[in-house]
Amino acid sequence: MSYENGQSNPYTPNRPVQMTEQVVVVDGMVGGGKGLISAIVGALPRVEMWVHKPQVEQVCGLYSLGHISLDGASTLINTWADEELYNQSMGRNVNCRPKDKSSIFQDARRLRYLWRLFANGDAVAAERIKKEKPILNLMTHANTAYAAPIFAAFGERLTYIRFTRHPTTVYMLRHVARWTTRWGNDSRNGMLLHKIKDGTVFSDSVPYATVGWETQYLQANPMDRAILLTDSWLRKGNEVIDDVKKGSSIQIIEIPFEKFVFEPMLYVQKIAAALNVDIDKITHRMIKRHKVPRTSLTDAPENKLYRSLGWEPPKKKMTLAEEFAEGRAFAAETASPEALAILDNLAKDYELRYDIK
């Protein structure tokens, strides 16, 4: 049934009763270290292992493009959240591939999922959730700028963690530049793309984050694209976070990677307090497993996936200033003067916002 000629749709989607009482969402840049913080968050008592549901990002993208209402988007997110928590409570649809980062075998409390595989399912799952009060742990990619449906869906049930990373490091610049050449042409991409129309001809698909400057994006080289996307993600994300902080009591914790790797407990304690849980020995074990605190930004545990994304073992210990100078020089090799100026301003503003010295 369609509603035309100015007639509004009288039906408002809603989900008045939610099974999920608490939700933690970790959002960050592509390649920005979300796996690190999400794994540690998942090691806190009552917090489920992290799960990435691309549908959440996609519906946020559809809302930002005007294809779905805020009520519709937030209702879907609430429905998916309850479905995910219910399935996790029974070990349904969990990842059992041992080497995957999202596998139950990588979780700090993996035995709970193995137990659930053999426990009673539908008959007692809802009651178990009411009794144990598990906290759903969701991960999103570069979604803060478009997260209005998430804030609307969860409200004060939500603890939102924005995990940021300095835009001027070799690793991040290289990774995002590679991302711009890969994901638009990869069927595995979970990020929403859209086609742009030039007259009557539809052109290439581009990330929906480029709405309004698609032509500039298409004409740019990979390094310029990386800088432009990073600038858009961070600046629009700042605006959304600042507005939510002013207009609601939703718990928002911003964590710069450059500080977390040196002082992890400062932020883990903030997260635990927001979730009303206590840090235990299992949490400490996961922190140690991820080798934090570290002696440098690049001093991560050896990992084939990180290497494939452009991470390299540090040749020497560098200060933050040296790391950023190296990244800036790397960008200058192929970036246009205009993009390089954008990067310089973005780096300056990032350091000011997070007091990076």
Q: Does 222 map to a domain?
A: yes
pLDDT at 3: 42
Tell me which residue has tokens 């609601």. 248
At residue 269 the predicted structure's pLDDT band, cuts being 50, 70 and 90, is very high
Q: Is residue 147 part of a domain?
A: yes
Q: State pLDDT tens for residues 102-145.
A: 888 888 888 888 888 887 767 678 888 889 999 999 999 999 99
User: What domain count does the chain have?
Assistant: 1
CA dihedral 200, 202, 208, 209 (to 10 degrees): -80
Predicted TM-score (pTM) of this structure:
0.90
pLDDT-derived band of residue 347, with 50, 70 and 90 as boundaries?
Answer: very high
Q: How far apart are CA 182 and CA 180, in angstroms?
A: 6
Residue 342 lies in a domain: yes
Report whether 9 contacts 244 (CB < 8 A). no
Domain that holds residue 167: 22-354
Does 279 reside within a domain?
A: yes
Residue range 218-231, pLDDT digits in tens: 899 999 999 999 99
What element of type H or E holds 148?
helix 148-154
Of the candidates 291, 293, 33, the one whose C-alpha atom is nearest the C-alpha of residue 169 is 33
Which domain CATH number covers 150? 3.40.50
As to burial, measured by CB atoms within 10 angstroms (0-12 exposed, 13-18 middle, 19+ buried), residue 69 is middle
Query: Using one digit for the tens of pLDDT, what is the confidence trace for 242-264?
Result: 999 998 889 999 999 999 999 99
> Could you count the other beta carbons within 10 Å of the beta carbon of residue 163?
25
Q: Where are the alpha helices (DSSP H) in 186-336?
A: 214-219, 222-247, 257-260, 264-275, 281-289, 304-308, 320-332
Predicted pLDDT at 308? 61
Per-residue pLDDT of 82-105, as tens digits, reads: 999 998 888 888 888 888 888 888
How do beta strands 22-28 and 158-164 pair? parallel
Of 35-44, 226-235, 301-310, 313-322, which range is least confident? Answer: 301-310
Question: CA-CA distance, 26 to 276, in Å (whole number)?
Answer: 17
Mean pLDDT, residues 174-180:
91
Residue 237, in any domain of the structure? yes
- Mean pLDDT estimate for the chain: 87
Residue 208 in any domain: the answer is yes
Residue 261: both structure tokens together? 């790797």
> Is 197 inside any structural domain?
yes
Examine residue 14 and state whether it is found in any structural domain, yes or no: no
Name the residue among 321, 294, 352 with its Cα closest to residue 33: 294
- Which has more pLDDT, 179 or 334? 334
Task: Dump strand ranges (E) for the chain.
Answer: 22-28, 51-52, 135-141, 158-164, 193-198, 201-207, 251-256
